[in-house]
Amino acid sequence: MNQMNFNDCYDNVSLVDSLPIMLCKHPYTAKVASKIADKGYCDAKKQFYHGVKLHLIGKDRFEKIPKPNFFDFTPASVNDLTAIKPMIYQLKNQIVVGDKAYSSEKFNQQLSKNNTVVLTPIKLKKRQ
């Protein structure tokens, strides 16, 4: 896990996301980077793959892409929330914006001790 410092970012707003790095589209026969990569599922592409995931927390900037603050690589099978927890626990007095993968009431309760909250979209029921 690495940390970087930047001065042109909002002090208390961070963005969090994970993305797959597909090394092979055939996860059952893949032998590429077998010590660090494994089988995962990309929901956006609706496919299984062999690879790793990049997990990133970036500092929000007005009308610019976020600047990385923390990042880490994990095998593809690691859950996004599990992978990001060690990084988010280091944040204090932050509003962290993420997708539904980071939605957890228990997790938010733990973060409230550092005056940090994770904002995620509301999960709607079908046909809402």
When pLDDT is averaged across residues 35-44 and rounded to a whole number, the result is 89
**Structural domain total, the chain:** 1
In a domain, 24, yes or no: yes
In a domain, 126, yes or no: no
In a domain, 22, yes or no: yes
In a domain, 128, yes or no: no
Pairing of strands 13-24, 38-42: unpaired
Indicate the pTM of the whole model.
Answer: 0.80
pLDDT score, position 55: 95
When pLDDT is averaged across residues 58-67 and rounded to a whole number, the result is 87
Separation between Cα atoms, residue 103 and residue 101, nearest integer Å: 6
Separation between Cα atoms, residue 18 and residue 66, nearest integer Å: 14
8 pLDDT band, cuts 50/70/90, is low
When pLDDT is averaged across residues 35-57 and rounded to a whole number, the result is 91
Q: Which domain holds residue 63?
A: 2-119
Indicate which CATH number applies to the domain containing 87: 3.30.420
In a domain, 18, yes or no: yes
In a domain, 127, yes or no: no
In a domain, 46, yes or no: yes
Non-local (6+) Cβ contacts of 112 within 8 A are none
